[in-house]
Amino acid sequence: MAVAAIAGCSSDDGDGDNSGGDQTTDAMEDGMDEETDGMNEEMTGTDSMSEGGMDGETDSMDEETDSMTEDEMMSMATFEVTITNVSEAGTITTSEGDDVAVPLSPTAYAVHTADATAFESGESASEGLESLAEDGSPDAFAAEVEMADGVDHAGTVATPDGAEEHGPLMPGDSYTFEVEAGHDHNLTLATMFVQSNDLFYAPEPSGISLFEDGDPLSGDVTDELVLWDAGTEQNQEPGVGADQAPRQDGTDTGPEEMANVRPIENVMDEYEYPDTSEVVEVTVTTM
* Range from 19-33, 131-145, 150-164, 231-245 carrying the lowest mean pLDDT: 19-33
Mean pLDDT of the region 141-163: 97
Rounded CA Rg of the chain: 38
Rounded to 5 degrees, what angle do the CA atoms 96, 131, 79 make? 100
The answer, yes or no, to whether residue 24 has pLDDT greater than 70, is no
Task: DSSP letter for 194, please.
Answer: S
Half-sphere exposure for 63 (CA within 13 Å, toward CB): 6
Largest CA distance in the chain: 137
CB 47 within 8 Å of CB 248: no
Q: For residue 159, how far is the Cα from the chain centroid?
A: 23
The answer, yes or no, to whether residue 142 has pLDDT greater than 80, is yes
Helical (H) or strand (E) element with 143: helix 139-146
Assign residue 150 a region: left if phi > 0, alpha if psi is -120 to 50, beta otherwise? left
The answer, yes or no, to whether residue 74 has pLDDT greater than 80, is no
**Within a 10 A sphere around the Cβ of 127, how many other Cβ atoms?**
11
The answer, yes or no, to whether residue 15 has pLDDT greater than 60, is no
pLDDT score, position 95: 96
Mean pLDDT of the region 233-239: 97
pLDDT score, position 250: 86
Q: For residue 70, how far is the Cα from the chain centroid?
A: 19
- DSSP string across 201-267: EEE-TT-EESEETTEEP-EE-GGGEEEEE-SSB----TTT-TTSTTT-SSSS-SPB-----EEGGG-
d(CA 116, CA 99): 39
Assign residue 20 a region: left if phi > 0, alpha if psi is -120 to 50, beta otherwise? alpha
pLDDT score, position 121: 97
The answer, yes or no, to whether residue 57 has pLDDT greater than 60, is no
The answer, yes or no, to whether residue 39 has pLDDT greater than 50, is no
pLDDT score, position 252: 83
d(CA 106, CA 191): 6
d(CA 42, CA 30): 18
pLDDT score, position 265: 97
Helical (H) or strand (E) element with 192: strand 186-192
Q: Report the share of the chain in percent with pLDDT over 90.
A: 71
The answer, yes or no, to whether residue 286 has pLDDT greater than 50, is yes
